[in-house]
Amino acid sequence: MSTLKWSCPCCLRFKFSPEELEQRYRSREIDKMIKKDKQVLKRQVKLLLLGAGESGKSTFLKQMRIIHGIKFEDELIKEFQQVIYQNVVKGMKVLVDARDKLNIPWGDSQNSELGSKLLEFNNNTVLDFRLFVSYATNLSNGLFVSYATNLSKLWKDSGIRRAYERRREFQLSDSVEYFLNNLDRIARPDYIPTNRDILHCRKATKGITEFVIPVNNVPFLFVDVGGQRSQRQKWFQCFGSITSILFLVSSSEFDQVLLEDRKTNRLEESKNIFDTIINNQIFNSVSIILFLNKYDLLVKKVANPETDIRWYFPQFAGNSHSIHDVQEFILAMFTGVKREPKKNLYHHFTTAVDTANIKNVGIKVYTRSI
């Protein structure tokens, strides 16, 4: 006795109604899509970016977009522009406040009122070009100044410059100097953030950001999560199906403390987080790549005669102004917490704002993650 084959359109026409045939057809198409999605997921490489706040995770992700030619959307560029205006105003506000608390005299006493006016700035204000350049504050002498004019005058003041030199004593974003040095360009009416501006733009990551970048027809899923203490409870949500962990450390912050408690050394904090990650059994089969980031800033800091790593890490036994010795010491801090000798750990000293550097490192990351 012959068996009816459901795949035969002629037979199906007599067995099922047109509505039932349509449902079966849709069901098969959905099954095909699910099968295709499973194949993609199987090939997908999931890279999780971890590290303390301000270690450079978001900057690395922006570099990946730039390197692979994925343009930033117009709305996103507009948002970056507003954040840049905020970065520079809030940064100068911190410097003015620090100058006062550190009892550093003004280079030009007339800048005192400019500084006082700037301290009135509400950090939650959304700054567009009109507010940044055109908005005028009336001073006691009858003069009107905009934020941009105010910032330019203050940045030239020797008191502010001295406060900047002592920035390790308070909380200041690394990008402030870059934007203040480019203030004339940023204040132009036709200003549009460049890729380099976007890389220096600082906005704390809250929540989880995912972005897929195809590399040689293989989808690389980058997952960026906030690094502040308040955000770390969200990390466990991203631990499934990880291919590699990119752990970023701000290597230049050996002389700075956390924003969260104002007492914990930032490098020690990063080391403790790294300890919990690399020694977690969940990640036994996950490759871990350590990025000792902000190498450019580390070089400058090590060369500075007013800074000595031994003040913060007395166990350091090398030449405190030798970048090689300091590199070896910082690297040993992190490799030393690994308890499983057979666990692979790759490392790179990186500068996340340097596209050429990250492009070279990225190639190695892709190779180790596939």
Which residues are part of a known binding site for Mg(2+)? 58, 205
Provide the H-helix boundaries in the chain.
Answer: 9-15, 18-43, 57-67, 74-101, 111-119, 129, 147-155, 158-165, 176-181, 183-186, 195-200, 266-278, 295-303, 323-335, 355-369
Determine the Cα–Cα distance for residues 31 and 122; give it in Å rounded to an integer: 55
d(CA 292, CA 352): 10
Where is the binding site for GTP, in residues? 54-59, 174-175, 199-205, 224-228, 293-296, 352
Pairing of strands 208-215, 218-225: antiparallel
* Encoded tokens for 194: 């460049």
How far is residue 55's CA from residue 62's CA, in Å, rounded to a whole number? 14
- One-letter amino acid at 320 equals S
Residues annotated catalytic, as ranges: 54, 59, 202, 224, 228
| 160 class by beta-carbon count within 10 Å (0-12 exposed, 13-18 middle, 19+ buried) | buried
Torsion of CA 54, 56, 57, 62, to 10 degrees: 130
